A and B are shown apart, each in its own frame.
Chain A
Amino acid sequence: MEAIKTGDVKVGDGNFAAAHAVRMAKPDLIAIYPITPQTSLIEKLSQFRVDGLIDADMIEVEGETSAIGLTIGAAVAGGRVFTSTSSMGLNFMFDGYQMAANYRQPVVMVNANRENPAPAQISAGQQDVMTVSEVGWIQIHVENCQEIFDSVLMAFKLAEDPEILMPVSVCYDGFYLSYLREAIKFPAQETVDQFIPRQPRPVLGFDPPTFLAWRAIHDEDTAEYRLRQQIAYDKSKDKMDAIDEEFGKLFGRRYGGQIEEYRMEDAEIALVCLGSHTGTARVVIDKKREEGIKVGLVKVRTFRPFPKEKLAEAVKGLKAVGVIDRSVCFTWQGGHIFRDLKTSLYGHDYIPLVNFIGGLAGHDITIPLLENAVDVTLNAGEGKPFKEINWMALENL
């Protein structure tokens, strides 16, 4: 493989971006099981290893349970670790997935977001990551390939922060980003090393003998352990903002930390979304602005922990907000972002929230669909009656 130099711009897809970021983060152990649309990432990393570009211990496991298990093990002993998966692979690793969070192990993974095969076969969507969002992992959602690269580096920084020590998942839309080829700018290795230095943390060791077990944390201490976990989880929000700032200084790019606001200065209504279709939404916002509609966009980056305060602040005083979801949750027929935003705004001044479900099973969230979402939100903002939950392109159902 030809060497990549500082400042080089290379064209590659999302999996390429993730693989290179992992290479530059210099993990000790990588364990991955292949699954579409993530597979080319593991192929890339395997090639890096035989080309001598990484010296991580790479394990070709027999399934995702072992992929997450090996990373937990090496993390428990003090190592920097990485894994990745998608869809049913994520389902299959759920035992270790929640264990990593509950044992506070800084496992970093990327998930190439995908539907579950029942009923959607191999297709894009965010149902997989949204389904597992309640167990204590930090989730960073991204919009393009450069952001994948940059967010993987941020993920290592956040996960291994001594005040955080939590697993972090960088979630990028399968197919839309995993296979989208874009220009990716490469930083200097020294800058990456400076950004994510190795930091001491508690490990399983002899002096004195340490324990990681249900019985070592006695019942009466479990509530305290849980509370500390929650506090650290909350703290990761400010950390994310600080990391974004530091990243900006070192690498010259910023993403806004927990959320990013686009053309929100004088906005009267807004769309809220996350993932690859944020790019499409920017185009729609520009177009609507040209038509004189004062609409802005709020991009959610850290879906977990949910940026409750930042979002409430961002949408404060708006006439209405449209929320785009690429997944469904079995509560109000709506999507996950909608549910969480609505919950977050309880106790604040009333703002009509309109939910738009779309992009399931690889359906495109197109410019016309988002334009329609803006129109519906605008109507709601004018005080007209509106349907709270709208399935885009399924209006007649």
Chain B
Amino acid sequence: MPKNLKYKLATPILEKLDDELQTRGIGMCPGCGEELAIRYALRVMGKNTMVFTAPGCSPSALAAGTDKGSTLGIPSMGCYMTNLPPIASGVKRYLKRKGQDVNIICIAGDGVSGDVGFQPLSGAAERGENIIYMCLDNEAYMNTGIQRSGSTPRHSWTTTTPVGIAGRGKPQLPKYLPLLMALHGGVSYAATATPYYMEDFVNKLMKAKSVTDGMAYLHVLAACPTGWRAPADSFMQLSKLAVETNYFPIWESSYGQFRFTKTPKKVKPITAFTSAMGRFKHFTDEEIESFQDMVDVRYEQMQLQCSRHTGNEEKT
């Protein structure tokens, strides 16, 4: 019988979280989805945590702030896009050897996690390095100025997949990183989340924190008003719509047992999501259909995964 991490209700715990650990003077855009995710991740991890970052938007909230003298309340280290998980694993391994139990969390974007830094992440996942890895997926290289990543959806506009006569956004289908990660033998716990469903997100962070025998991988949809070409106050709404249209399925996998933790009561058409952002504003009917197709295929894939363990799904 495979092990399963217990599911606890988080509401009472939310109030008991550690103080804010983030520094003042962080350099993120107004209304950034990454920022909220990081803030709560750190509150759940607590003070007995070291945080490891890599280039991208997230270090602006993590490294030390823009203000001289302002620092994070916990130790942190800036790694490269190409070597984040091994460095964090090296720290974890040595501290464990010394008998020190410290939460080690890596926080990085989809470009780090799924593209240039994918190999070391995959290696660490296969070896079951006992670290927490949180990927903040904003579906492009935002920090360098909204370039296409492996996670950018098909037909989406970015600065390197512009719309013109000879091209209409990204031609390829994206890489579905959370499932790839969950399928690594050394990943004890994998989950997708968005800060819109804060209780679900916090529960998953707590489970990730409790893993002692492998990697915990969290894949967070981090709505990015700047890169998605949407108003600064729209990120909660966009996160919600991403789930309600099945664009971003919310699930978890505990030792290989998959289940949805949030499913929309009534699935909205994808246009409810796409029409809210400038990055999709060039869409023709055909492109909308093709985009819907991409969403359906991904969702069916996850349904298949989740149905393999009947009785696990949660009705909401």
| Residues of A participating in the B interface, judged by any CB pair closer than 8 Å | 28-29, 31, 57, 59-63, 65-79, 81, 95-96, 99, 204-206, 209-216, 218
**B161 interfacial by beta-carbon distance below 8 Å:** no
**B53 interfacial by beta-carbon distance below 8 Å:** yes
A63 and B87: CB pair below 8 A?
no
A65 and B94: CB pair below 8 A?
no
| Chain B interfacial residues counted at CB < 8 A | 43
A215 and B89: CB pair below 8 A?
no
A-contact 0/1 string along B105-138, CB 8 Å cutoff: 0000000000000011011101100000000000
CA A68 to CA B83, docked complex, whole Å: 9
Which of A29, A68, A209 has most chain B Cβ within 10 Å?
A: A209
CA A77 to CA B100, docked complex, whole Å: 11
Pick the residue among A29, A66, A99, A213 that contacts B120 (CB under 8 A).
A66
B124 and A66: CB pair below 8 A?
yes
In the complex formed, the residue of A with least CB distance to B81 is A95
B19-70 residues at the A interface, CB under 8 angstroms: 47-48, 50, 53, 59, 63-66, 68
Given known contacts A65-B119, A66-B83, A206-B75, is B64 in contact with A215 (CB within 8 Å)?
A: yes
Pick the residue among A69, A71, A213 that contacts B63 (CB under 8 A).
A213
What total count of A-B pairs have CB within 8 Å? Answer: 149
**B74 interfacial by beta-carbon distance below 8 Å:** yes
B103 smallest CB distance to A (angstroms): 12
CA A209 to CA B88, docked complex, whole Å: 16
A206 smallest CB distance to B (angstroms): 6
A77 smallest CB distance to B (angstroms): 4
CA A99 to CA B87, docked complex, whole Å: 11
**B76 interfacial by beta-carbon distance below 8 Å:** yes
CA A74 to CA B92, docked complex, whole Å: 8
Given known contacts A65-B120, A95-B80, is B87 in contact with A209 (CB within 8 Å)?
A: no
A106 smallest CB distance to B (angstroms): 13
CA A209 to CA B102, docked complex, whole Å: 13
CA A61 to CA B123, docked complex, whole Å: 7
| CB-defined contacts of A205 to chain B, threshold 8 Å | 75
B90 and A216: CB pair below 8 A?
no
**B73 interfacial by beta-carbon distance below 8 Å:** yes
**B71 interfacial by beta-carbon distance below 8 Å:** yes
B63 and A214: CB pair below 8 A?
yes
B119 and A62: CB pair below 8 A?
yes
In the complex formed, the residue of A with least CB distance to B27 is A215
Question: 10 smallest A-B Cβ distances: which pairs?
Answer: A73-B90, A69-B86, A62-B123, A213-B78, A215-B63, A69-B83, A66-B86, A70-B90, A74-B94, A74-B90
A62 and B120: CB pair below 8 A?
yes
| CB-defined contacts of A60 to chain B, threshold 8 Å | 127
Given known contacts A28-B94, A62-B122, A205-B75, is B87 in contact with A213 (CB within 8 Å)?
A: no
| CB-defined contacts of A213 to chain B, threshold 8 Å | 53, 59, 63-64, 76-78
B90 and A95: CB pair below 8 A?
no
A72 and B75: CB pair below 8 A?
no
A-contact 0/1 string along B202-217, CB 8 Å cutoff: 0000000000000000
CA A70 to CA B94, docked complex, whole Å: 10
B77 and A212: CB pair below 8 A?
yes
| CB-defined contacts of B47 to chain A, threshold 8 Å | 206
In the complex formed, the residue of B with least CB distance to A216 is B64
